[in-house]
Amino acid sequence: MTPERYERVRDLFVEAQTLVAAERADFLARECGADDGLRTEVESLLAHATDEPLFAPPPLPGADDPLGLLGAVLDDRYRLDQFVAEGGFGVVYRATHLKWNVPVAIKLFRPFLDASAQQSFVDAFIKEGALLNRLSRQTTAIVQSYDVGVWHSPTGAELPYTALEWLDGCSLSELMTREPGPWPIERVRAVLDPVAQALEVAHQNGIAHRDVKPANIVLMGDLKAPTVKLLDFGIAKVAAERAGGFTSTAGQPTPFSVSHAAPEQIARRHGPTGPWTDVYALALLHTRLLTGRHPYGEGSLAVQISRAQDPGWRRSPGALGVTIDAVVEQALARALSVDPTARPADAGAFRAALSGASTPTAELVMAPVEPRTRTDRRPLIRAALLVALVVGGLVAWRLLS
């Protein structure tokens, strides 16, 4: 993918997220025209940005099983007991591991119509499965991966699947809806330090998550002192497989949630993504919980996109009127810098900064950043024009978590 194509896909993806789902189809039809490949790229990113959960309330009575597989046994090991959720290319079931007699989550993926695309997906899927298995063996704070394979269904279809630990709990997103905060620092640490530990393991293995948000964090047990799990490494990028390591911006854009995105995810001029992107998202979550407010304040998604990129928009708890320990305030202010090189380099450095230890910052070759003053309103004007141009779409992504 050329840099120009990369920018176009990412720009359309960001714009489409400012629209309600019903408006996206018209928007993509207008913006993509006859370029079906461009539309497919954007739709796949949108589909993954609303991925199906690995845990969910029981479906309503009479809810259809989209694949018609309830009761089926996969590879003589996993009996599909309950349909849980559907999204993108995947369907999630609660299943029983017949040898262990324990519940597991089974994610099944529909086959592609194109055989070459199917094989490419399966190869990448197996690789991602091995990646998640390696990470989950190093920390319990990442959802545990048990198995990955391709099941030959009675109809002859080849269905890739992954078996993951079954999670009985609620997402941080749900809890924040019930208890928006402000939360005391002790409770924030109880929830987010395990997430930071999980990211530290990932970063040590050359992997950045790039979509750290409340919906991808699950809390189980006592919600005041919960067991915490980080989900969805399906969009992680392995630095060893990129010629430029983490600083490479080549390849495919990865999906993310705009309201929790770092500046470099929104606009390429801020530089490449990497562990420092996860540090930003983690600091954003700390600030939301400590203040009970989104650091970007009220306003439309376009306003938040503008503020995320504005160095003059202060985001730390102190800037939002909440007094916390000076060390924590300073660590969060650094981690929320628009310039990635000013942040702690990875989750380990961020955790050290929160505890008062000295921390290295990211060493990157950055694209030049246009200087702006605090009163520069060009980003907001551009974002407002961006929203005024749109009307919107949605379809599917290769779910590789």
Find the CATH number of the domain harbouring 161: 3.30.200.20
Q: What is the mean pLDDT of residues 302-310?
A: 83
Q: What is the mean pLDDT of residues 221-240?
A: 72
Q: What is the pLDDT of residue 365?
A: 35
Q: Examine the fold and report which residue of 142, 165, 188 is the final residue of a domain before the chain moves on.
A: 165
Residue 39, domain member (yes or no): no
Q: What is the mean pLDDT of residues 368-388?
A: 38
Q: Which is more confidently placed, 398 or 148?
A: 148
Q: What is the mean pLDDT of residues 19-44?
A: 77
Per the prediction, the chain carries an average pLDDT of: 77
Let me know whether 79 and 215 are in one domain. no
Note the Cα 236 to chain centre separation in Å: 9
Q: Examine the fold and report which residue of 110, 136, 165 is the final residue of a domain before the chain moves on.
A: 165
Instruction: Respond yes or no on whether the N-terminal peptide bond of residue 295 is cis (omega within 30° of 0).
Output: no
Residue 185, domain member (yes or no): yes
pLDDT over threshold 60, residue 262: yes
Q: How far apart are the first and last CA of the chain?
A: 23
Let me know whether 179 and 287 are in one domain. yes
Let me know whether 256 and 284 are in one domain. yes
Distance (Å) of CA 332 to CA 201, 285, 325, 335, 354: 21, 10, 11, 5, 8
Let me know whether 146 and 175 are in one domain. no
Let me know whether 118 and 215 are in one domain. no
pLDDT over threshold 70, residue 213: yes
Cα–Cα distance measured from residue 358 to residue 41, given in angstroms and rounded to the nearest whole number = 41
Residue 207, domain member (yes or no): yes
Let me know whether 136 and 226 are in one domain. no
Least confident window among 7-11, 90-94, 144-148: 7-11
Q: What is the pLDDT of residue 375?
A: 40
The residues near 18 (Cβ < 8 Å, ≥ 6 apart) are 258, 300, 301, 302, 305, 386, 387, 390
Q: What is the mean pLDDT of residues 241-245?
A: 36
Q: Which is more confidently placed, 368 or 190?
A: 190
Pick from 355, 356, 329, 343: nearest CA to 276? 343
Q: What is the pLDDT of residue 397?
A: 29
Q: What is the mean pLDDT of residues 364-380?
A: 38
Count of domains observed in the chain:
2
Range of the domain at 103: 73-165
Let me know whether 261 and 209 are in one domain. yes
Within 10 angstroms of residue 207's Cβ, the number of other Cβ atoms is 24
Q: What is the pLDDT of residue 86?
A: 76
Cα–Cα distance measured from residue 388 to residue 359, given in angstroms and rounded to the nearest whole number = 42
Q: Examine the fold and report which residue of 141, 165, 189 is the final residue of a domain before the chain moves on.
A: 165
| DSSP SS3 for 67 | coil
pLDDT over threshold 70, residue 317: yes
Query: Alpha helices of 292-389 — where are they, by DSSP H?
Result: 301-308, 326-335, 347-354, 378-388
pLDDT over threshold 50, residue 296: yes
Q: Listing from the earlier edge strand, what are the strands of the sheet with 227-230?
A: 170-171, 217-220, 227-230
Residue 32, domain member (yes or no): no
Cα–Cα distance measured from residue 205 to residue 99, given in angstroms and rounded to the nearest whole number = 31
Q: What is the pLDDT of residue 336?
A: 95
Sign of CA dihedral 214, 215, 218, 222: positive
What single-letter amino acid sits at 121?
A: F
| DSSP SS3 for 321 | coil
pLDDT over threshold 90, residue 47: no
Let me know whether 82 and 176 are in one domain. no
Residue 68, domain member (yes or no): no
* Residue 249 banded pLDDT, cuts 50, 70, 90: very low
| DSSP SS3 for 36 | helix
Share of the chain above pLDDT 90, in %: 35
Residue 115, domain member (yes or no): yes
Sign of CA dihedral 28, 30, 32, 35: positive
Least confident window among 287-291, 326-330, 372-376, 390-394: 390-394
Q: What is the pLDDT of residue 115?
A: 64
Q: What is the pLDDT of residue 364?
A: 40
Interhelix angle 275-291/185-204, nearest 10 degrees: 170
Least confident window among 17-26, 73-82, 351-360, 372-381: 372-381
Q: What is the pLDDT of residue 49?
A: 54
Q: Which is more confidently placed, 265 or 39?
A: 265
Residue 345, domain member (yes or no): yes
Let me know whether 207 and 311 are in one domain. yes
In this prediction the pTM is 0.72
